[in-house]
């Protein structure tokens, strides 16, 4: 019995198990710590290079490179499930999800696309002609309506425009699509390029899809139009009114049903704006916003924005510089109008300039909010469904980020990192769209090959 008890009490391992457990536990802690360290390093690297799941943007597809483009006829839009891209020699449609080319429209003969409207009801208006930059050529005298779902021509006609009116380059603001109308700016000029009396009847509207005649408008005496725009509730024309050195810029609102002039307001009643002060552009038709940019200001994109109320009458003057900083409008992808606000990329600082996104109230011209993450410079923005998407270049690195802001408050809703350099890829960034989880970028390059579209997704 005693022997048995001794053997039972000295069973091997009876006093060794606790020590082995402690060693195993320590080893497990070390392994977990090492894995955590490695995981942290990997996560950090993935975040830096833009490959962190849930925090990144990845390329879905990109089109092959195009030859160099001319500086006219360029535009890009998202129309349903088709991405549309116009350049001087063709208009092309691609599938949003696949990148597959659906169709291509090439203007007849040797004509070039001078300018386009924005699409309405899946219809795009093209202004084109031969010998665009030749004073002896026909200039930008033809208008074609294009169905963007199929790439098929709907109708074609002519603008009553002389070669002298367009010599030296293409025209802008010559056509507009909106509210089921195609509005065409016709001009008659003499040998010196001056508008003659018939120029008063220079705004013509036809049915957007059929080209059937609707109306022809007469502008006030001593006025001539330079830009037209159309929407469901109004047709707008920027006019040069006055004689000789007393000419000023006005915004005329026309009845879309009849073409009757409803009212004609100076851009600024207190400080008349002369045509010589800059180039005009209709930033938005409804709400009505007109920009005037100094004639020789090519690089910085400075200018002034004139906003009008729901009734089409003058509301505010938004200077280029103010409490909102210095608005940069050198590219279409840096300014947008939505509802009652102007959204823009704005530069701040004097010695060390950086840029951010701002929202300005159209009624008062006052700053509503400003969004600056403090980590980079805003280089493009897009507004859609009440959200502002901002592309930002991080300072001191080649990393780019995507920020999504609440359009009402400027509050940050999303933050993503790219694994590629979006803004500095082939060609300059033209269109910038955020649709259904996809970020769509279009580019143009006037000096070398460029990719028409690159599409990214969140992951």
Q: How does pLDDT run across 138-173, given as a tens digit for each residue?
A: 578 889 999 999 999 999 987 765 444 443 445 678
Q: Which two tokens stand for residue 292?
A: 């005037």
The Cα–Cα gap between 278 and 250 comes to: 13
Task: Please write down the long-range contacts of 95-104, taking CB distance under 8 Å and 24 or more positions apart.
Answer: 96/435, 96/438, 96/440, 96/455, 97/60, 97/438, 98/61, 99/60, 99/61, 99/62, 99/63, 99/453, 99/455, 101/63, 102/151, 103/150, 103/151, 103/152, 104/151
Q: Using the predicted structure, report yes or no on whether residue 26 has a pLDDT greater than 70.
A: no
Residue whose tokens read 């507009």:
176
Q: Using the predicted structure, report yes or no on whether residue 9 has a pLDDT greater than 80.
A: no
Longest CA pairwise span in the chain (Å) = 133
Q: How much is the pLDDT for 397?
A: 64
Q: What percent of the chain has pLDDT over 90?
A: 45
Please report which confidence band the pLDDT of residue 76 belongs to, taking 50, 70 and 90 as the band edges: very high
Q: Which two tokens stand for residue 215?
A: 């109306």
Contact 314, 265 (CB under 8 A): yes
Q: Using the predicted structure, report yes or no on whether residue 10 has a pLDDT greater than 60.
A: no
CA 333 from chain center: how many Å?
3
Main-chain phi, psi angles of 2, to 5 degrees: -65, -40
Q: How much is the pLDDT for 2?
A: 44
The Cα–Cα gap between 129 and 137 comes to: 9
CA 11 from chain center: how many Å?
82
Q: Which two tokens stand for residue 159?
A: 């603008």
Q: What are the residues facing 254 on neighbouring strands?
A: 235, 261
CA separation (Å) from 29 to 32, 33, 326, 402, 452? 5, 6, 55, 38, 53
Q: Which of 267, 220, 260 shows the shortest CA–CA distance to 243?
A: 220
The chain-wide mean pLDDT, for the chain, equals 81
Q: What is the mean pLDDT of residues 208-234?
A: 92
Q: Which of 332, 354, 210 shows the shortest CA–CA distance to 283?
A: 332
Q: How much is the pLDDT for 6?
A: 38
Q: Which CATH number fits domain 67-370: 2.40.128.630, 3.90.380.10, 3.40.50.2000, 3.40.50.10490?
A: 2.40.128.630
Question: Mean pLDDT lowest for which of 38-42, 299-303, 348-352, 443-447?
Answer: 38-42
**pLDDT digit string (tens) for 347-382?**
887 655 678 999 999 999 999 999 976 667 888 899
Q: How much is the pLDDT for 122?
A: 97
**pLDDT digit string (tens) for 114-138?**
899 999 999 999 999 887 765 444 5
Q: How much is the pLDDT for 393?
A: 83
Question: Mean pLDDT lowest for which of 52-66, 188-202, 385-399?
Answer: 188-202
Please state the three-class secondary structure of the chain as a single string. Answer: CHHHHHHHHCCCCCCCHHHHHHHHHHHHHHHHHHHHHHHHHHHHHHHHHCCCCCCEEEEEEECCCECCCCCCCCEEEEECCEEEEEECCEEEEEECCCCCEEEEECCCCCCEEEEECCCECCEEEEEEECCCCCCCCCCCCEEEEEECCCCEEEEEEECCCCHHHHCCCCCCCCEEEECCEEEEECCCECCCCCECHHHHCCEEEEECCCCCEEEEECCCCCEEEEEEEECCCCEEEEEEECCHHHCEEEEEEECCCCCCEEEEEECCCCCCCCHHHCEEEEEECCCCEEEEECCCCCCCCCCEEEEECCCCCEEEEECCEECCEEEECCCHHHEEEECCEEEEEEEECCCCCEEEEEEEECCCCCEEEEECCCCEEEEEEEEECCEEEEEEEECCCCCEEEEEEECCCCCEEEEEEECCCCCCCCCEEEEEEEECCEEEEEEECCCCCECCEEEEEEC
């Amino acid at each position: 019995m005693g022997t048995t008890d001794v053997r039972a009490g000295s069973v091997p391992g009876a006093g060794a198990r606790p020590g082995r457990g402690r060693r195993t536990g320590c080893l497990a802690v070390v392994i977990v710590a090492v894995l955590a360290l490695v995981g942290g390093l990997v996560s950090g690297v993935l975040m830096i290079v833009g490959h962190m799941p849930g925090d990144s943007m990845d390329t879905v597809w990109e089109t092959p490179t195009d030859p160099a483009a001319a500086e006219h006829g360029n535009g890009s839009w998202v129309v349903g499930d088709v991405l549309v891209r116009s350049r001087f020699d063709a208009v092309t449609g691609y599938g949003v999800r696949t990148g597959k080319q659906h169709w291509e429209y090439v203007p007849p003969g040797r004509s070039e696309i001078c300018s386009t409207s924005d699409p309405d009801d899946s219809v795009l208006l093209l202004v084109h002609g031969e010998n665009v930059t030749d004073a002896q050529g026909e200039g930008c005298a033809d208008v074609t309506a294009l169905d963007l779902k199929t790439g098929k021509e709907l109708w074609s006609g002519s603008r009553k425009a002389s070669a002298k009116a367009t010599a030296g380059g293409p025209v802008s603001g010559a056509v507009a699509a909106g509210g089921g109308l195609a509005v065409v700016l016709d001009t008659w000029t003499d040998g010196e390029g001056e508008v003659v009396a018939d120029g008063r009847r220079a705004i013509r509207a036809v049915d957007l899809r059929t080209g059937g005649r609707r109306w022809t408008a007469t502008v006030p005496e001593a006025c001539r139009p330079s830009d037209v725009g159309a929407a469901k509730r109004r047709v707008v024309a920027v006019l040069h009114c006055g004689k000789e050195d007393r000419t000023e810029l006005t915004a005329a609102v026309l009845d879309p049903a009849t073409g009757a002039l409803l009212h004609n307001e100076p851009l600024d009643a207190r400080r008349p704006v002369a045509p010589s002060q800059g180039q005009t552009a209709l930033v938005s038709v409804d709400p009505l916003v007109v920009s005037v940019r100094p004639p020789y200001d090519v690089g910085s994109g400075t200018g002034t924005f004139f906003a009008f109320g729901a009734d089409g009458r003058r509301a505010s003057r938004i200077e280029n510089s103010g409490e909102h900083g210095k608005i940069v409008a050198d590219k279409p992808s840096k300014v947008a109008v939505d509802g009652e606000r102007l959204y823009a990329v704005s530069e701040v600082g004097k010695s060390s300039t950086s840029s951010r996104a701002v929202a300005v109230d159209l009624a008062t011209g006052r700053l509503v909010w400003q969004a600056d993450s403090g980590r980079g410079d805003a280089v493009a923005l897009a507004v859609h469904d009440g959200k502002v998407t901002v592309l930002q270049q991080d300072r001191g690195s080649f990393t780019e980020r995507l920020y999504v802001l609440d359009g009402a408050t400027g509050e940050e809703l999303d933050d993503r990192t790219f694994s590629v350099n979006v803004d500095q890829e082939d060609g300059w960034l033209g269109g910038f769209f955020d649709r259904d989880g996809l970020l769509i970028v279009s580019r143009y390059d006037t000096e070398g090959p460029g990719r028409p579209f690159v599409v990214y997704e969140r992951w």
